[in-house]
Amino acid sequence: MAMLILIDLDGTLVNTVHPSWKRYKDGLDRISYDKIPLICGAKEFVEKRKEKGDSIVIVSDSHPIYVNEVAKVFDVEAVSLTDKPNDSKVRSFIQGNENYQSLLETGRCIVIGDTKLDIELGRKLKAMTMGIIPYSITDEIKDERDGIGDKMTLIKYGPTFFAKNYIDADKILDSPLNNLYALEGVYAGSESTRSIIYNTIQDNNDRNKYYAIRCLARQQCGVCDSYARADMYYRLSNPERSNDYLDNLAISITKFLTQESVKNEKWNICTYIPDKTTTVPTDKMEAVFARIEPNIPKHNLFIWETSILGSLRNQPQYKERKEYLEKYLKLNPTIDVKDKSIVVIDDQLTTGATAYYICRLLMNNGAKKVLFVTLFQMTLEVLDNKVCPRCGKNMNIKINRRNGTRFYSCVSAEYGGDGCGYIENIIDGI
């Protein structure tokens, strides 16, 4: 089906992220379009997508003198001076075209770009998003404000997809549902085995030793496309959760672990991070772990100290979480992990403290490699444009922790805000 593709320019279609291009992007100097360095595969990608019936629009913060010149190379429409992640100019452009508006409203719109600003824009539009960084990252081009060259921040903003290159991007757009992350794919009725590639750390002395962190769904904060699964994360803590729900979580893990690229790594142990005795319900991860069928021997590798006090959830910072884990979460002394390849299952990635602590604990005790897999990755918050009808202040999207339903909240002082407390349910769940 035809799609509306809103695609970033600098760093996505053309390799102009270096500071030396700033005067051209600001419209201060002119340049002929045949002098502009194209990203490898970008022009071919645009041509293929147009042949398949997609509409391509360049969306750029740069000056129209520059943007319109580059748009000639690709023979596409362009919107300049967009001030991303502000969505007002892009939304106005879309509303001026009945077909584009229909594609956005029916979920057939995607924003593609190399920075967090592109992902934020897409999430504000409630469109699908695709992260892609098709250039070499150097210290010279990094920009903390816009996130240029910062792959990890881009991932934390929760793109629907992440493409390695334009060949990968083309394949994803040919079959979007089958390229969702594995848990999101279960709820979309697809057979996807993809994961969010959060990090892979190799041993400096032995390339065959490594630990890797992967996530199977996005637990979004604020607005996002319809495939993110914050609602499903909160249902995990509901004592009344259904068996079908637990089965679906387990299915996503099983699909991921039994795909050829993962299975071929020949894992020796599959384990999970157990719930503390004070967790409600106490068996939430045990119930999921019991249902997975990874074709890997299962063992309980981790034990919480009986003297445990407090909660990991109440340690908001990475350093505090790490210290909490070091104090209370230990290896089972009856199981030898030396030279073993180990898969660890957990429910959520927030700061990454648990993942990194577990991976390093196992590696320091002789493990050969570790694959840490979480069901959900907490994404960074993107606010909606909705204002409170009572006091006119911006409203936040909140989630009912018991049933996963979403609602707008004009957060009052009682809950750390400065609003009037007005609440409005989100009917469509998007």
Whether 320 is in a domain gets the answer: yes
The separation between the first and the last C-alpha atoms of the chain, rounded to the nearest angstrom, is 21
Which among 174, 208, 230 is the end of a domain? 174
Whether 269 shows a pLDDT value over 50: the answer reads yes
Cβ proximity of 189 and 65 under 8 Å: no
Whether 207 shows a pLDDT value over 80: the answer reads yes
The Cα 422–Cα 314 span in angstroms is 27
- Which has more confidence, 146 or 230? 230
pLDDT tens, position by position, 51-87: 999 999 999 999 999 999 999 999 999 999 999 999 9
What is the per-residue pLDDT for 124?
96
Those residues whose C-beta lies under 8 Å from the C-beta of residue 336, and which sit 6 or more positions away, are none
Q: What is the mean pLDDT of residues 7-15?
A: 96
Q: What is the mean pLDDT of residues 130-154?
A: 78
What is the per-residue pLDDT for 119?
97
SS3 of 111, please?
strand
* Nearest Cα to Cα of residue 251 among 356, 375, 337, 133: 375
Whether 115 shows a pLDDT value over 60: the answer reads yes
Q: What is the number of alpha carbons within 13 Å of residue 212 lying toward its C-beta?
A: 18
* Nearest Cα to Cα of residue 430 among 185, 106, 131, 87: 106
Question: Strand ranges (DSSP E) for 50-149?
Answer: 55-59, 77-79, 109-113, 128-132
**Whether 146 and 82 share a structural domain:** yes
Any idea which of 137-146, 183-192, 265-274 has the lowest mean pLDDT?
Answer: 137-146
Whether 15 shows a pLDDT value over 50: the answer reads yes
Q: Is 422 exposed, middle or buried (0-12, 13-18, 19+ CB in 10 A)?
A: middle
**Whether 160 and 238 share a structural domain:** no
Domain extent, residue 234, equals 196-381
* Nearest Cα to Cα of residue 14 among 35, 6, 375, 257: 35
Whether 390 is in a domain gets the answer: no
Any idea which of 209-223, 271-285, 289-303, 368-382 has the lowest mean pLDDT?
Answer: 271-285
Whether 130 shows a pLDDT value over 60: the answer reads yes
Q: What is the mean pLDDT of residues 334-360?
A: 95
Q: What is the mean pLDDT of residues 220-232?
A: 93
**Whether 90 and 29 share a structural domain:** yes
Q: What is the number of alpha carbons within 13 Å of residue 27 lying toward its C-beta?
A: 10
Whether 191 is in a domain gets the answer: no
**Whether 165 and 24 share a structural domain:** yes
Whether 318 shows a pLDDT value over 90: the answer reads no
**Whether 234 and 376 share a structural domain:** yes
pLDDT tens, position by position, 405-426: 778 899 998 888 899 999 988 7
Whether 235 is in a domain gets the answer: yes
Residue 44 tokens read as: 């071919």
SS3 of 391, please?
coil
Whether 423 is in a domain gets the answer: no
What is the per-residue pLDDT for 400?
75
Whether 430 shows a pLDDT value over 60: the answer reads no
**Whether 91 and 229 share a structural domain:** no
Q: How many domains does the chain contain in total? A: 2
The Cα 52–Cα 3 span in angstroms is 9
Cβ proximity of 387 and 359 under 8 Å: no
Name the helix (H) or strand (E) containing 265: none
pLDDT band per the 50, 70, 90 thresholds, residue 146:
low
Whether 380 shows a pLDDT value over 90: the answer reads yes
Q: What is the mean pLDDT of residues 134-149?
A: 69
pLDDT tens, position by position, 245-260: 999 999 999 999 999 9
**Whether 147 and 226 share a structural domain:** no
pLDDT band per the 50, 70, 90 thresholds, residue 329:
very high
Residue type, 376: F
Q: Is 318 exposed, middle or buried (0-12, 13-18, 19+ CB in 10 A)?
A: middle
Torsion sign across C-alpha atoms 256, 262, 263, 269: negative
Look up the CATH number of the domain holding residue 229: 3.40.50
Average pLDDT along the chain: 91
Those residues whose C-beta lies under 8 Å from the C-beta of residue 271, and which sit 6 or more positions away, are 298, 299, 300, 301, 302, 342, 343, 344, 345
**Whether 219 and 322 share a structural domain:** yes
What is the per-residue pLDDT for 139?
65
pLDDT band per the 50, 70, 90 thresholds, residue 402:
low
Whether 207 is in a domain gets the answer: yes
Which residue is it, tokens 């502009």?
36
What is the per-residue pLDDT for 39?
95
Look up the CATH number of the domain holding residue 9: 3.40.50.1000
Beta strand pairing status for 423-425 and 55-59?
unpaired
pLDDT tens, position by position, 163-197: 999 999 999 999 999 999 999 999 999 999 999 99
Residues in the chain: 430
Which among 114, 139, 174 is the end of a domain? 174
What is the per-residue pLDDT for 396?
82
Cβ proximity of 294 and 253 under 8 Å: yes
Whether 138 is in a domain gets the answer: yes
The Cα 246–Cα 286 span in angstroms is 10
Whether 429 shows a pLDDT value over 70: the answer reads no
pLDDT tens, position by position, 82-110: 999 999 999 999 999 999 999 999 999 99
**Whether 84 and 132 share a structural domain:** yes
**Whether 156 and 234 share a structural domain:** no
Q: Is 427 exposed, middle or buried (0-12, 13-18, 19+ CB in 10 A)?
A: exposed
**Whether 13 and 154 share a structural domain:** yes
**Whether 309 and 269 share a structural domain:** yes
pTM: 0.89
Whether 246 is in a domain gets the answer: yes
